[in-house]
Amino acid sequence: MRNILFVASECVPFIKTGGLADVVGSLPKYFNKDEFDCRVIIPKYMCMKYEYVQQLEYVTHFYMQLNWRSQYVGVFKTVYDGVTIYMIDNEYYFGGDRPYGDICYDIEKFAFFSRAALSVLPVIGFRPDIIHCHDWQTGLVPVYLKDCFAQGDFYRGIKSIMTIHNLKFQGIWDVKTVRDIAGLSDYYFTSDKLRCYEDANLLKGGIVYADYVTTVSETYAEEIKTPFFGENLDGLMRARSNCLAGIVNGIDYDTYNPETDPYIYRNYNVDTFRKEKKANKRQLQQDLGMNVDDGKFMIGIVSRLTDQKGFDLIAYIMDELCQEDVQIVVLGTGEERYENMFRHFDWKYHGKVSAQIYYSEEMSHKIYAACDAFLMPSLFEPCGLSQLMSLRYGTVPIVRETGGLRDTVEPYNEYESKGTGFSFTNYNAHEMLGVIRYAMNTFYNKKREWNKMVDRGMMADFSWKTSAGKYEQLYRNLLY
Ligand code: ADP
Ligand code: GLC
């Protein structure tokens, strides 16, 4: 039996702001339990829902040095879906109303978390063979593991993996402050280690010190070796390319299952979607105060409203798009300008456009189930889970060919009757509009073709089965 520890800042169902939480909360369930004991450690945020706080069991507490600071570390534990989850408690760091806030506080918060995640291991009696870190928040874990923790027998030989879910976020702050917070010597703050240009960079530390680096799709693993996607670390990504792999994400096929999903109005499968998706659409139209017409081409968007997701393209053609015979439903929160943009179009084209500016797991499922198409024209996309959820719910994705979108959506080929969605290449609003019109035309005028595409999408396998196997193989390669 080999022990694996996931260290991350989010994990469903406890705390989620994006796809990272979906991955951390579902992948461990899919490892072979006879070979791997995979556990997860996350912060115990005070904004976590009470129903989850209630389930936690207090394990222990102690004080830990974080440079000159002595900090309380509480440890809680729960078992969810057969996976052991540990949570680090400290109300000073994790007391906010959201997991992330100002980066200058977040740097200290996650330096504390990274060190605490290592410090608790002997106390709880769990010695991982591999520590699998996710994103910049855990970038110091591989560094600490090679630094102060390397001396103790307990930690010697523990391997680490750094998975990059989004290279845009790196945890950058000035060297002096980070050195003081992290308690690392000057040795670490040179440009071949944590320093990146003038600043300290936590993710860079993780990438340099981890034994292996992965990211969440094959295409993104290539893209980040180039300056545009590399976010100043493309040189490092090229340097580490013999220890870098892209493993595409899966989704939890139990949670995202139109046949059993308790959130959607009517359950369905690949045999019944023709009728039942329409019923879902009618009910959603009614609930959201839209024009009720189950024949309308309905496009869904469920997303963080940020530049990454291509919302400037949508803003640019929204008026033109609304002249078409479509309905658009948006669920998202994020940058104010995009929130207000959708509110504006909801007001201007009421009945046709619906802007739901909030976060709701339940509403997201209803939208995946009710819509005909799902729009995701990202500027860059490490993997993307929303398009996978759409495929599973028979909702045809319209995506830009980048990162994981390129790897998971096969473009429609009308001559060979192949493909699972629609895609375009250039980051250009009218190229996108052209593809949306092409999809709409297929929907209205070639219904049989459309339905066959829905069929193919629903049958495609984006469960964790294949990708969990790839992680297992990577673990074995590192250990044997
Ligand atoms: P990212 O992690 O970059 O935000 P992904 O596509 O990987 O993008 O994952 C996004 C996840 O967050 C999906 O599970 C999606 O359904 C969910 N999501 C995004 N915005 C909302 C929202 N406003 N309400 C509910 N779920 C949302
Ligand atoms: C990040 C990326 C997204 C990916 C998710 C999970 O949030 O933006 O593309 O699907 O992580 O890996």
Q: What is the average pLDDT across 324-351?
A: 98
Ligand 2 midpoint to CA 200 (Å): 24
Over residues 174-214, the pLDDT tens digits come to 999 999 999 999 999 999 999 999 999 999 999 999 999 99
Over residues 124-177, the pLDDT tens digits come to 999 999 999 999 999 999 999 999 788 789 999 999 999 999 999 999 999 999
The H or E element spanning position 119 is helix 103-124
Q: Which ligand sits closest to the CA of 17? A: 1
pLDDT band at 118 (very low <50, low <70, confident <90, very high): very high
Contact 144, 185 (CB under 8 A): no
Ligand 1 midpoint to CA 399 (Å): 15
Percent of the chain with pLDDT over 70: 100
Select from 23, 24, 166 the residue to mutate for testing ligand 2; criterion: most ligand atoms less than 8 Å from CB: 166
Ligand 1 midpoint to CA 460 (Å): 21
Average pLDDT, the chain: 97
Question: Under CATH, what is the fold of the domain 273-461?
Answer: Rossmann fold (3.40.50)
Pocket lining: 18 vs ligand 1, CB cutoff 6 Å: yes
Give the Å distances, CA to CA, from 233 to 75, 134, 171, 204, 306. Answer: 35, 17, 13, 8, 22
Q: What is the average pLDDT across 255-262?
A: 98
Task: Write out the two tokens for 257.
Answer: 């299952």
Task: Write out the two tokens for 474.
Answer: 């990577």
Pocket lining: 302 vs ligand 2, CB cutoff 6 Å: no
Q: What is the pLDDT of residue 148?
A: 79
Q: What is the position in ligand 1's atom list of the atom closest to the CA of 166?
A: 3
Question: Structural domain boundaries of the chain?
Answer: 2-250+465-479, 273-461
pLDDT band at 244 (very low <50, low <70, confident <90, very high): very high
CA distance 41 to 10: 9
Classified as helix, coil or strand, 2 is strand
Task: Kindly report the protein residue whose alpha carbon is nearest to atom 15 of ligand 1.
Answer: 386
Pocket lining: 255 vs ligand 1, CB cutoff 6 Å: no
Q: Do domains 2-250+465-479 and 273-461 have the same CATH topology?
A: yes
Q: What is the pLDDT of residue 151?
A: 79
* Residue 480 pLDDT > 90: no
Ligand 1 midpoint to CA 302 (Å): 6
Pocket lining: 362 vs ligand 1, CB cutoff 6 Å: no
Ligand 1 midpoint to CA 361 (Å): 9
Ligand 2 midpoint to CA 34 (Å): 29
Pocket lining: 253 vs ligand 1, CB cutoff 6 Å: no
Least confident of 27-41, 137-151, 277-291, 335-349: 137-151
Q: What is the average pLDDT across 302-329?
A: 98
Pocket lining: 168 vs ligand 2, CB cutoff 6 Å: no
Q: What is the average pLDDT across 228-239?
A: 98
* Residue 467 pLDDT > 90: yes
* Residue 324 pLDDT > 90: yes
Q: What is the pLDDT of residue 385?
A: 98
Q: What is the position in ligand 2's atom list of the atom closest to the CA of 385?
A: 10
Select from 168, 252, 304 the residue to mutate for testing ligand 1; criterion: most ligand atoms less than 8 Å from CB: 304
**What CATH class is the domain 2-250+465-479?**
alpha beta
Phi, psi of 330 (to 5 degrees): -120, 130
Q: What is the pLDDT of residue 150?
A: 80
| DSSP-derived secondary structure for 56-106 | -EEEEEEEEEETTEEEEEEEEEEEETTEEEEEEE-HHHH-SSSS---HHHH
Strand-pair category, 172-174 with 199-201: antiparallel
Over residues 84-100, the pLDDT tens digits come to 999 999 999 999 999 99
Ligand 1 midpoint to CA 22 (Å): 9
CA distance 449 to 461: 20
**Number of Cβ atoms within 10 Å of the Cβ of 176:** 10
Ligand 1 midpoint to CA 272 (Å): 27
CA distance 135 to 114: 12
Percent of the chain with pLDDT over 90: 98
pTM exceeds 0.95: yes
Q: Which ligand sits closest to the CA of 389? A: 1
Q: What is the average pLDDT across 445-462?
A: 98
Classified as helix, coil or strand, 42 is strand
Q: Which ligand sits closest to the CA of 27? A: 2
CA distance 174 to 84: 36
Q: What is the pLDDT of residue 265?
A: 98
Task: Write out the two tokens for 335.
Answer: 């940058």
Over residues 400-447, the pLDDT tens digits come to 999 999 999 999 999 999 999 999 999 999 999 999 999 999 999 999
Task: Kindly report the protein residue whose alpha carbon is nearest to atom 17 of ligand 1.
Answer: 18
Task: Kindly report the protein residue whose alpha carbon is nearest to atom 3 of ligand 2.
Answer: 384
Pocket lining: 165 vs ligand 2, CB cutoff 6 Å: yes
Q: What is the pLDDT of residue 152?
A: 81
